[in-house]
Structure formats: structure tokens, C-alpha cells
Amino acid sequence: MNPVRKQRLIIVIMIVVGVSIAVGFTTYALRQNINAFYTPSQISSGEAQPGQTIRAGGLVVEGSVKQAEKGLQVSFDISDGVADVTVHYEGILPDLFREGQGILVKGPLQAGAVIKATEVLAKHDENYMSPEVKAALEAAGHKPAEPAALY
């Protein structure tokens, strides 16, 4: 083989190997940081694995909010109209958090369909609901409340 062609072949092979390694590292890093969205029905049916960090959304179940006597621990249930999932959170809840409202939580799923939330997000005004939560509620046959008309 011609020495110039051999040198070009070696360079091309090194570039292909380098790009393959970079793609492999990127894929591995992204796999570790992906937080998939699940509805309470999907969590209850076992689609999400315990230990996996997930995002979940639904309506806060009326009467389910329980705050600890001391500290910032709070526990509540979220529902999509079909299934309920318990959420444990330690921290200050958003000002707009209340029962019957749509929220998103993020955190690792524990055994028994319990989410140890690291983040709780509430809707930002009376007309907004996360598209993911709204679609999940509609798929479950639960119609979200219509916003009040402004006169």
C-alpha cells in the first residue's frame, strides 16, 4: 500500500474511533440525566422502576396534604383521576400549591409507588396547567376545570 494512502487510512480510522467514543460518552451521560414524565396510572402499573428519577404530574388529592409537626416535611397524594401516588417532600412548597390544583413533582421513585420529591412545581396562574398533566388527565377521562371567564 502506498505510504500516503496508509497514513490517510490511519487518520480516518482514528477519527472514526474518536467520534465513536465521544458519542458513547454522550449517550451514557444523557441516559443518566433523562427524567421521563409519568402519570400516576403509569407509576401504579409499574412502568417506572423504583430508584429511577422521574417527573410526575397530576392533581393534588383533596384532604391528602399532611404536614409534620416540626420541620418542613409534607406528604400528599397526586391523582390523574384513575390512580393515586403518594409524594413525600421536604422543603417549602410553592405559594400556589393547594389541594385540587395541578402540579409537577420531580424525584426518585421509591418502592410502593412513593415519590421522594426533590422539586415541586405548581401552576403559575389560574388558567395554566402543564400540557403533560392536562393530556394525562384528559386521557384518564378526567376533565380539568375550565378557567373562569373574565368580565
Residue 10: strand pairing partners: none
> Which pLDDT score, from 0 to 100, does residue 87 have?
93
Please compute, for residue 118, the number of CA atoms within 13 A of its CA located in the half-sphere on the CB side.
10
| pLDDT, tens only, 80-90 | 888 889 999 99
Please compute Rg for the chain using Cα positions. 23
43: enclosing H helix or E strand: helix 40-44
Least confident of 3-7, 111-115, 122-126: 122-126
Here the cell at position 91 is 422543603
> Which pLDDT score, from 0 to 100, does residue 126 have?
54
For the segment 28-44, the average pLDDT, to the nearest whole number, is 80
| pLDDT, tens only, 12-26 | 999 999 999 999 998
In this model, does residue 144 exceed pLDDT 80? no
In this model, does residue 92 exceed pLDDT 70? yes
In this model, does residue 35 exceed pLDDT 90? no
> Which pLDDT score, from 0 to 100, does residue 58 have?
87
Cβ–Cβ < 8 Å for 24, 82: no
Band of residue 138 on the pLDDT scale cut at 50, 70, 90: confident
pTM, rounded to two decimals: 0.65
Residue 55: strand pairing partners: 37, 106
Band of residue 30 on the pLDDT scale cut at 50, 70, 90: confident
Band of residue 99 on the pLDDT scale cut at 50, 70, 90: confident
